[in-house]
Structure 1
Amino acid sequence: MKSFVVLLLAFMAMVSAKTVTYNLTATWVQANPDGCHERRVIGVNNVWPPPTIEVDKGDTLVVHFTNGLDDRNSTIHWHGLYQNGTADMDGPSMVSQCPVAPGASVVYNFTVNQNGTYWYHAHVPSQYPDGFRGAFIVHDKEAYFADMYDEELVLPLSEWYHDEMQVLVPKFMSLYNPSGAEPIPQNLLFNETMNSTIHVKPNTTYLIRLINIGAFVSQYFWIEDHDFQIVEVDGVYTEPSTADLIYITAAQRYSILLTTKNTTDKNYAIGTRMDDNMLDLIPEDLLLNQTNWLGYNDDKSDYHNADPSLKDLTAPFDDFYLVPHDKQGILPEPDHEIVVDVSMDNLDDGVNYAFFNNITYTRPKVPTLYTVLSAGDDATNSLVYGEFTHTVVLEHMDVIQIVVNNADTGTHPFHLHGHEFQVINRSPSYGDDDPTPYDPESSDNPPFPDIPMRRDTVYLRPSGHMVLRFRADNPGVWLFHCHIEWHLEQGLVLTFVEAPKIIQEQTNVRPDHWAACADLSVPTTGNAAANSANFLDLTGQNAQVIFLPAGFTARGIVALVFSCISAFIGMGFIAWYGASDLSNTEAKIILKNGVELNDDQELDIQDTETVNPHLAHHN
């Protein structure tokens, strides 16, 4: 009888499922999100912000995507969607597909057997921070909290830059930024704007979906004089947990239940604040806080009276202690453990890169998925995917444990494509000079939780460590990477090739995706070096820049550069160069690294194709 009921429910779900179709064309649009600076942004169908995509659990989504940008390639990644059986639809350029050339089109077609809060964004470097990002909501009538709220709101959070990424990236990935200091945003956005009011009714419960669609800073979120219940993170339903302050990193999502007050005699501040510990410098004109409003009554004159900066930010809710609603227990001891150390360092070109175990991701000449499909029996050999894609081949259904040790002093939100993971250990922050790797034998380790928190994006604390666990039950090519766009530019990425023989059996790439490769003359067979005669021959593969000779430092690089300028070009050139202007932020960063310049000197960085050759092709 039980089996009959299960089959009946499955049949009913199939009958009720539908096909949802969107036509999305990426286009340049003029916008002024923060009200301070109009600039070119990437919209969809000549509108910005891009639309929210909405489906019901079990629906098939068909997206006809056209790259209407005249100056760059593009793709779409469906962040948090597992793509079970459709790994070719995941979207990262040169991983699961070729980039889509200007004027070209592809179709994304997959079934959504998940629930919760997701988002979509371009997955070529330095594109989604220019605006190509939107919410992706999967409604679920069977959610345990479906009857606990009256209305639903979707509220994306992000930072905002006044300069386009094509201006910022060359300055960031530059000899003149040897410390790797990330560009500092001009403002925070809330619902893709500033100083906005979210109108609410009294005595009403709202499901609020919060999505950090930003590219850099984590944010604190709170609502003046209101508590709320966390019921979902990253598509995983959780037992209700009361909070009044959350910390949400780039790419994370929270769904909260907020019940409004019974009266309308006051309006309340919605506070967001940058985690300023992530900033190398804090310009004098940077507002770390932003205030929006929970509007009960427009006739009241109390807007802008509250000061959310008074909120104590020292104790946000710790997501480690969330309990998944399905009570899934901890996975068994791992079949395969992967230990990676995160570091930042300068290579021989003087640029600061990011590394897992001294490998900075360098794109292959053939999309990694297409190497799987063309490699035959060699697909199980990680060598064919290149030395610098940092590829690990996983066996089907193995339990995988990832230990991440942070030798860097920054916070890193790590995202895994194709899976959610259990977070079974996460250390506190440690001092700048005291990176503390995970030691499984240490008596300081707390016991692993019986029912660990699960999500697809989790943050690693400065100089600390974390332990993640998942089951390799989804054949495909999946990235594991920091979701800070600047660190993605620097190469903080590794690749999982999961069950390659099953990938070969179940993957049928659409003709339009093959055509996207032909448009750009990207080879679709062969290893990472595009060698199909001998898949173990990596001659000609794209390689990372070589390491500096022993003894060189970031300060030494810059000092050497300026010594050479002085020696070969002479003081006359220095005098001429000093007539131009250097931004206050850039000057402070350079001075911080031991280079003395006059206040009126400028560093002019124009060459976008040679600054970061192993990623430049994406743009």
Structure 2
Amino acid sequence: MSRNQSSSSSRSSLLFISLLIIITCLQSTVHAKVVKHVFIVDYVEGSPDGVYRDKILAINGQFPGPTIEADLGDTLQVDLVNLIQDGQNTSIHWHGIHQKGSPCEDGASQISQCPLRNGFVQRYQFTLHQAGTYWYHSHVNSQYTDGLWGALIVHNRPEVYDYDGEIVITLNDWYHRTARENEHWHLTPAARGVPPYPDSGMINGLGRYPCDLAVLQNRTCDTTLQSRKVFNTHRNQTYRVRVINVSAYTAFNFSIDGHVLETVEVDGIDSARRVPVDYAVLAAAQRYSFLIRTNGSLNRYLIRADLRIESLLLIEGVNINKFPEALMGDVTAVLQYVDDDIPAETEQVEPFSFQEQVPLKNLSSLICLDEMELSPFDGLPAPPYFDKEFILEAGFYEDEHDVRRGQFNMTPFKLPDHKPLLVQLIDGDKLAPSVFALDVGYMDVVQVVINNPFFGPHPFHLHGASFWVLGMGGWYDGNYDPARHNETLSLTGVKRDTVLVQEQSWAVIRFVADNPGVWTFHCHIDWHNLSGMAMTFVVGRDQISRAVRFTEEGRRVCAHHKLEDLIDKGDQPDTSDATNNSSHTTLVLLALISIVLYL
């Protein structure tokens, strides 16, 4: 549909969005506070699935990292201290947080910042303009697979839906080899583009592995250290269950025995349609919130996260993991009803070794969540037009060293080795072709057609914005064909920031480019992102060069890499101590500009 054909309704929608942003910002400042954390990152020893690892990346000695909780409108301040013993760089990306007005805080290494060198400290500080379920993780290579991640929960006061308590559940795959070992293997011809096969699956950082097979690999394994989480709840109450898949590769079928799941949030977006289902599929990086009612007749129920083994590519004899058959697909925790005099919403741990059996659950007769049946609570549909359309084909190719790499449109992404992309844009530099930068104007409506003609599904994540999913194909539906698929597209479907494109299939997404900055779009199978299945959207190039300023903190972090002579904005004011006010003011100004543009 052309822009002129629908200008009146589309302008009204964008005007309404802008007014909502202003109202939300003004309301959120009334009771805002600064939520402060210090994250000391280094290696610890541990056996989270019973198998000993001497290099688990922990935050303040804790794996998984601590859960951050804050309220809408708060300022989050995190001091990241890099004490990783082998000298690695690091960074933290705040997954799902758009960073409107604070693009330097996105945490994507060499895109929005220089990585933090070993032995130094970096302060992240930004205002939380979005409520919902998020997470944070390292954005340096595949470093977060060593354990550098945690949940980030932003509460709305009041929430859209009423409930009595909440539970936060993380799902992850786990590797016995370090990220560096897996990275080195994956970027060799021997890997043939196949990701490292996970060793185990976990709920809230706990899992299990067959110790008899660990011994064959000369690994120490102790069944007495294998355990699972128990979540205590009270009867006849409503709980919000926040589920986050922080995996590097694996998708899960999530369910709770004896309980129906009502979906109320998708990737930080409140859902209007509370569709009751028996289970839901979560690809890597996706999040959901479900309401459950604790009115069952039993005291204990299994929480299940069954690995979708069929989505894991395995070629016989081609993997760094020589025991893929050891992966136990039945990952569980326990939902337990307790008496009213026992505090609820507390976690405990119970022994659960690899030798214990999990009762099978037949999913064939159960209802699976269809995300396209969901819609945003605010009721705003996708704009009925687009200003720019891009067609991306995800795939693989062999480079000059016979390494099979991920790519879009035969253009493998490569990070710059000097100034971060955001700094280059601020300085007016020309970006290298290898960063696959697509320019869009400020407030453009952008449609992206994603085709996946190869084997295996891909969860694609966009930094800096959420998007409407207009439509998606099933397995083996082929590439997007307007003649066949246009009638299936919907403007009122789900809105999120990570979409799963099935094997040999397609998806169409649409977003409003209302956030000036450089934002990466990449496969969140971390091994594919590592090898080049990524690109960038440059939103509002003119606005970036005129209005975006690289923070003093960002310049200081880059100076540790001897890049101070490359960042020629030293005369700009230090905004690192005023992020709360500056990012908030910038967001309001952006919304006001959008109103002027569409009046």
> Does the alignment reach a TM-score above 0.5?
yes
Match of 2:204 in 1: 191
Query: Larger deviation: 34-43 or 385-394?
Result: 34-43
2:181 is equivalent to residue 167 of structure 1: yes
8 A contact 1:267–1:297 mirrored in 2: no
Match of 1:393 in 2: 439
Over the matched positions of the two proteins, sequence identity in percent amounts to 34
Which one scores higher on RCO, CA 8 angstroms, separation ≥ 6? Answer: 2
Match of 2:595 in 1: none
Match of 1:437 in 2: 479
Give 1:181 shift: 1.5
Matches within 5 A, 1:522-541: 522=563, 525=566
Structure 1: distance between partners of 2:502 and 2:198: 21
Query: Larger deviation: 489-498 or 269-278?
Result: 269-278
Match of 2:535 in 1: 494
Matches within 5 A, 1:44-443: 44-70=59-85, 71-145=87-161, 147=162, 149-178=163-192, 180-194=193-207, 195-239=228-272, 240-261=274-295, 263=297, 265-281=298-314, 283-296=324-337, 307-312=359-364, 316-364=368-416, 365-375=418-428, 384-430=430-476, 436-440=478-482, 442-443=483-484
Give 1:515 shift: 2.0
| 1:181–1:13 CA distance, 2 compared to 1 (3 A) | closer
Normalization by structure 2: what TM-score? 0.80
Structure 2: distance between partners of 1:335 and 1:9: 27
| 1:517–1:444 CA distance, 2 compared to 1 (3 A) | closer
Give 1:40 shift: 1.4
Structure 2: distance between partners of 1:350 and 1:181: 13
1:171 partner SS: helix
Structure 2: distance between partners of 1:5 and 1:356: 35
Where does the alignment leave 5 or more consecutive residues of structure 2 unmatched? Answer: 1-18, 208-227, 315-322, 340-349, 569-599
1:63 partner SS: strand
Match of 1:544 in 2: none
1:176 partner SS: helix
Structure 2: distance between partners of 1:390 and 1:523: 26
| 1:197-247 Cα shifts (integer Å, max 9, x gaps) | 222221121111100011111111111121121100111000211111100
8 A contact 1:289–1:309 mirrored in 2: no
Where does the alignment leave 5 or more consecutive residues of structure 1 unmatched? Answer: 528-619
Structure 1: distance between partners of 2:565 and 2:128: 28
Match of 1:542 in 2: none
Query: Larger deviation: 502-511 or 46-55?
Result: 502-511
| 1:176–1:6 CA distance, 2 compared to 1 (3 A) | closer
Match of 1:571 in 2: none
| 1:65-112 Cα shifts (integer Å, max 9, x gaps) | 121113200111100001011101101111011011001112111111
Structure 1: distance between partners of 2:466 and 2:169: 22
1:312 partner SS: coil
**For residue 392 of structure 1, what is the amino acid of its counterpart?**
L
**For residue 412 of structure 2, what is the amino acid of its counterpart?**
T
| 1:35–1:450 CA distance, 2 compared to 1 (3 A) | same
| 1:8–1:325 CA distance, 2 compared to 1 (3 A) | closer
| 1:565-599 Cα shifts (integer Å, max 9, x gaps) | xxxxxxxxxxxxxxxxxxxxxxxxxxxxxxxxxxx
Structure 1: distance between partners of 2:536 and 2:325: 40
8 A contact 1:426–1:465 mirrored in 2: yes
2:515 is equivalent to residue 461 of structure 1: no
| 1:407-459 Cα shifts (integer Å, max 9, x gaps) | 211110000000000000101110xxxx722122x145433224121000010
1:287 partner SS: coil
Structure 1: distance between partners of 2:481 and 2:94: 35
Give 1:296 shift: 2.7
8 A contact 1:51–1:135 mirrored in 2: yes
**For residue 37 of structure 1, what is the amino acid of its counterpart?**
Y
| 1:271–1:262 CA distance, 2 compared to 1 (3 A) | closer
| 1:439–1:31 CA distance, 2 compared to 1 (3 A) | same
8 A contact 2:94–2:107 mirrored in 1: yes
Give 1:8 shift: 9.0
Give 1:358 shift: 0.4
Q: Which runs of 4 or more aligned residues in structure 1 lie more than 4 Å from their structure 2 counterparts after TM superposition?
A: 4-12, 303-306, 523-527
Give 1:337 shift: 0.5
**For residue 412 of structure 1, what is the amino acid of its counterpart?**
H
Structure 2: distance between partners of 1:161 and 1:7: 45
| 1:127–1:447 CA distance, 2 compared to 1 (3 A) | same
| 1:355-399 Cα shifts (integer Å, max 9, x gaps) | 100011111132110111111xxx6xxxx1111100011101110
| 1:107-136 Cα shifts (integer Å, max 9, x gaps) | 111111111000011111111010000000
2:198 partner SS: coil
| 1:225–1:497 CA distance, 2 compared to 1 (3 A) | same
Structure 2: distance between partners of 1:391 and 1:172: 25
Match of 2:210 in 1: none
Give 1:316 shift: 2.4
| 1:165-209 Cα shifts (integer Å, max 9, x gaps) | 11111112112122x121111111001113322222211211111
Larger radius of gyration: 1
| Cα root mean square deviation, aligned | 2.4
Structure 2: distance between partners of 1:330 and 1:67: 41
| 1:412–1:315 CA distance, 2 compared to 1 (3 A) | farther
Kindly tell me the number of residue pairs found equivalent between the two proteins.
Answer: 505
Structure 2: distance between partners of 1:306 and 1:312: 18
2:521 is equivalent to residue 476 of structure 1: no
Structure 1: distance between partners of 2:52 and 2:487: 49
Give 1:342 shift: 0.8
| 1:32-51 Cα shifts (integer Å, max 9, x gaps) | 11123333111112332211
| 1:453–1:12 CA distance, 2 compared to 1 (3 A) | closer
Query: Larger deviation: 26-35 or 113-122?
Result: 26-35
8 A contact 2:267–2:286 mirrored in 1: yes
**For residue 187 of structure 1, what is the amino acid of its counterpart?**
S
| 1:250–1:523 CA distance, 2 compared to 1 (3 A) | farther
Match of 1:30 in 2: 45
Structure 2: distance between partners of 1:34 and 1:311: 26
8 A contact 1:97–1:513 mirrored in 2: yes
8 A contact 1:224–1:308 mirrored in 2: no
